[in-house]
A and B are shown apart, each in its own frame.
Chain A
Amino acid sequence: MTMEQILFYLMAVIAIASALYVAATRNLVRSVFMFFVTLMAIAGLFVLCMADFVAITQVVIYVGGILVLIIFAFMLSGRETLSNLQHQSKFISISKLPALILAGLFFIVLLNIILKGNISGLMWTEKAVLTNNVISAKDTTIDNIGVNLMSNYLLPFEAISILLMMALVGAAHLSRKERSA
């Protein structure tokens, strides 16, 4: 096995095992900290796909932003609320039937894609290899991303920025003190 394959299997195993722990554990805070391990393993997988920018963005946004906010919420809500949340009976029970069905169906979809899709011989990848339209490990990926964001994907990009702006205004409005009440 090459170094890349060893690293891939290592990180895939870490990602899956830690994700299972996140879903199965009763200790909510530990599951959040374990989610950090999952995210780092997935960032490593992104690097192996030569998507280094995506990997680092994942760390900045999920680890530096979202995870910290989740833990913040935990710390602001007292231990009693937390222990109420943690009193769940079993991992699999009747009340969780909808979630189980959804997860099962999604799993079938994923299995179908993996089994039926001829992943090593896809048309567009073969075409890209033939026309030499590929990136190598030493290439700078951000130039490409920047140009595409400002040309091909300008509309989604602007739409997302408006959405974020709305969220920002909403948050500012919610946290503002009432003048006379």
Chain B
Amino acid sequence: MNFYLKYIIAAIGLFAFSGFFAILGVYAERKVSAFIQDRLGPMETGRYGTLQTVADVIKLLTKELITPSAADKWLFMLAPAIIFIAVYMGFAAIPWAGGLAPSNINLGLYYIFAIISIETLGILMAGWGSNNKYSILGAMRSAAQIVSYEIPAGFAIISVVMIAQTLNLQTISAQQGVLSAEHSKFLGIWDVTANGGILSWNIFRAPHLLIAFAIYFIASLAESNRAPFDIPEGESELVAGFHTEFTGMRFAFVFLAEYSMMFLVSMIGVVLFLGAWNTPLPNIGSVRLADWTTGMAWGIFWTVVKVLLLVGMQMWIRWTLPRMRVDQLMSLCWKVLTPLAFICIIISGVWRLWVM
């Protein structure tokens, strides 16, 4: 029984974390947007408005759940749950530190890729179930966008997998630091197996992965429906897109899913490209910075810091760039990102065979 208890505790912990992160994320988003637009943001509730999102959560919990009379009741009720669960299940395979992952499965990366694609189905369900033209339009845009951007994201991931030669996220993480079992070379010339740190991250072990990372990052913005790719909820045209009709807790679940998705895609990006739980500080001679900053607690610390930096970048981009038009969005995906990702795959093959 203890065997199962461990997994149940991990699952509850992850759920609590995603809720906590959503509260924190909404507050951070408001403050970041206020800073960028030269405003103050929430100031009234609590010191510097820190309790604003808590108050919002209480408001959402007490609001009435309204189901439109013309809606398909079952689809409408289940959609927010499916959208959230799809994202939440993705956390099951992601490593937080060396030896610390909810489930260390051999096909971890592929599993996450599969689970995330279920979110599209939840969005379509919400759009169809609401029986509202804005919802359907938003859901269709969202599905078209996610299905298209999965292709460059997938190819960018494949180019990493070709370098790493495994789909196990824990192994991919371990390769990018001082604990690596194989030799890692900085830019393919300088053996840095003993130095570790930032030098042995995937983006520096194979420099073309820097381009792959950029592709992945752009595609992940589109997959989590964030600006500049937020046409599914473009409020100037579609009211609020696929979640127009949702109220109270159902609406909260859609938002919980969005913020969890931001954290999840950033985490995948960190694991694949930015050294996962490995420290950025290299060993320099007798100053063993990398050895000193490697361990369970340090691993969690580095993961969280890197992921929060990426999430911060997503927020920064959202409040800086204007929304893209549908055709621009598609031509960026198919005419720029996809060919570039193909080139990355070819370079990965060559790099693995002749350079590494």
Q: Return the chain A residue nearest B166 by Cβ.
A: A140
Interface: B15 (CB within 8 A): no
Interface: B8 (CB within 8 A): no
Q: Return the chain B residue nearest A71 by Cβ.
A: B124
Cα distance, A7 to B106, chains bound together (Å)? 21
- Cβ A142 vs Cβ B106 within 8 A: yes
- Cβ A59 vs Cβ B117 within 8 A: yes
Interface size on B, residues (CB 8 A): 29
- Cβ A68 vs Cβ B113 within 8 A: no
Specify which chain B residues have a CB less than 8 angstroms from the CB of A59 in the assembled complex: 114-115, 117-118
- Cβ A67 vs Cβ B121 within 8 A: yes
**B 64-98 to A, binary, CB cutoff 8 A, 1 in contact else 0:** 00000000101100000000000000000000000
Shortest Cβ distance from A72 into chain B, in angstroms?
Answer: 6
- Cβ A72 vs Cβ B140 within 8 A: yes
Specify which chain B residues have a CB less than 8 angstroms from the CB of A53 in the assembled complex: 107, 110
- Cβ A64 vs Cβ B114 within 8 A: yes
Question: For the complex, would chain A's binding face be called helix, strand, loop or mixed by DSSP majority?
Answer: helix
- Cβ B72 vs Cβ A60 within 8 A: no
**Which residue of A29, A52, A64, A74 is within 8 Å of B118 (Cβ)?**
A64
**Which residue of B75, B110, B136, B144 is within 8 Å of A30 (Cβ)?**
B75
Interface: A103 (CB within 8 A): no
On whether A140 and B106 interact (CB within 8 A), knowing A30-B75, A59-B115, A71-B128, the answer reads yes
Interface: B147 (CB within 8 A): yes
Q: Return the chain B residue nearest A3 by Cβ.
A: B4
- Cβ A68 vs Cβ B124 within 8 A: yes
Specify which chain B residues have a CB less than 8 angstroms from the CB of A138 in the assembled complex: 106
Specify which chain B residues have a CB less than 8 angstroms from the CB of A142 in the assembled complex: 106-107, 167
Interface: A10 (CB within 8 A): no
**A 35-63 to B, binary, CB cutoff 8 A, 1 in contact else 0:** 01000000000000000110011011001
Interface: B341 (CB within 8 A): no
Q: Return the chain B residue nearest A52 by Cβ.
A: B107
Cα distance, A76 to B178, chains bound together (Å)? 53
Q: Return the chain B residue nearest A139 by Cβ.
A: B106
Query: For residues 126 through 167 of chain B, which have their beta carbon under 8 Å from a beta carbon of chain A?
Result: 127-128, 136, 139-140, 143-144, 147, 150, 166-167
Interface: B120 (CB within 8 A): yes
- Cβ A64 vs Cβ B143 within 8 A: no
Most chain A beta-carbon contacts within 10 A, residue among B75, B106, B115, B127? B106
Shortest Cβ distance from A108 into chain B, in angstroms?
Answer: 35
What are 23 A-B residue pairs whose CB atoms fall within 8 Å in the complex? A29-B75, A30-B72, A33-B125, A36-B121, A52-B106, A52-B107, A56-B107, A56-B111, A59-B118, A60-B113, A60-B114, A63-B117, A64-B114, A64-B147, A64-B150, A68-B143, A71-B128, A71-B143, A74-B128, A75-B136, A139-B106, A141-B107, A142-B106
Closest 5 CB pairs of A and B: A64-B117, A59-B114, A60-B114, A56-B114, A140-B106
- Chain A residues within CB distance 8 Å of chain B: 29-30, 33, 36, 52-53, 56-57, 59-60, 63-65, 67-68, 71-72, 74-76, 138-142
